[in-house]
Chains A and B, each alone.
Chain A
Amino acid sequence: MELFRVDTDAWGRELINGVSWDLLPLFFLAGVVFIVIHMVYMALRSRRR
């Protein structure tokens, strides 16, 4: 998985062109994981009290 989008300029040099959009599912997944962990934590907490 690439971190950056890379392009080449008129002289053939590599230039960073932005953040890689391949990371989008990772950030989405991070949100899902946090939400699931929090839901489990809240469920366990309410059962304990």
Chain B
Amino acid sequence: MADNIAGDAKVRRHALPDRLFHWVQAVCMFVLLGTSLLPVLGVQFAWVAPHWIAGLVLTAAVLLHIVRATIWQGLGTIWIGWRDIRDVREVAAALFDSSKAEPKPGKYTFAQKGFHNFIAVVLLVAIVTGVVLMFGVDTPFWETDPYVVSEANRGLLFVLHGFTALLSVTLIMLHIYFAIRPEKLFYTRSMILGWITRTEYQTHHDSSRWSDTE
């Protein structure tokens, strides 16, 4: 983290509801992957109930996040636009020509937006398939109904659901790797405490693309 942050002004990056969503999602993902993949690795336990409970909590959290992001925050912050594509071209150019400066992003870099949008699709597929598959499980809300989907379609749902689990393993590994990289630790701090310092803001972000007063 930055060496001298005590006297530096703070710029809010993540509001409390967004941080809560992130960490609830993180816990749910670990429970979901643990309850689905540990039995595959030979650790046998009653995994079905904690799996669907974590799935329901994640579904509720994602729905709240979608409503909040769409109505109160706007999707423009996370949408990948032409400016982001241009950023990638300029970063690539700076890679081969050290005289060229890398462009500063708005609130999120192209990579952060891309990761967010990719995992959003993965999670939505996992949630939709998971909710349909839940009808094959006894819960306090309903009893097993094996006829909600045909056997062939259930197989397809299990393929998609399992594929999202496998993809999540890779995505979580990359997410944690970038979260603990020294030059990215200030982003991790902002996901815990909500803020980055003004120096970090000025060093890493373009104020014309991300206003610190928002």
Contact = CB atoms under 8 A, between A and B. Distances in A.
Interface in B31-73: 37, 40-41
Interface in B121-172: 151-152, 155-156, 158-159, 161-163, 166-167, 169-170
A35 B29 CA distance: 21
Interface in A1-49: 4-5, 9, 15-19, 21, 23-24, 27-28, 30-32, 34-35, 38, 42, 45, 48-49
Nearest to B161: A18
Interface residues of B, number: 22
Contacts of A15: 151-152, 155
Contacts of A45: 95
Which one of B95, B156, B158, B166 has the highest number of Cβ atoms from chain A below 10 Å of its Cβ?
A: B166
A27 B170 contact: yes
A31 B169 contact: yes
A4 B170 CA distance: 19
Given A35-B177, A48-B98, A49-B98, A27 B155 contact: no
B159 A31 contact: no
B6 interface: no
Contacts, number: 56
B155 A17 contact: yes
Given A16-B159, A34-B174, A21 B40 contact: yes
A34 to B, nearest CB: 6
Nearest to A33: B170
Nearest to B150: A15
Contact of B173 (A5, A16, A23, A31): A31
Contacts of B166: 19, 23-24, 27
14 contacts: A15-B152, A16-B152, A16-B156, A18-B162, A19-B162, A19-B163, A19-B166, A21-B162, A23-B166, A24-B166, A24-B169, A28-B173, A34-B174, A35-B174
- Top 7 nearest A-B pairs (CB, nearest first) are A31-B173, A19-B162, A18-B158, A16-B155, A31-B170, A27-B166, A21-B40
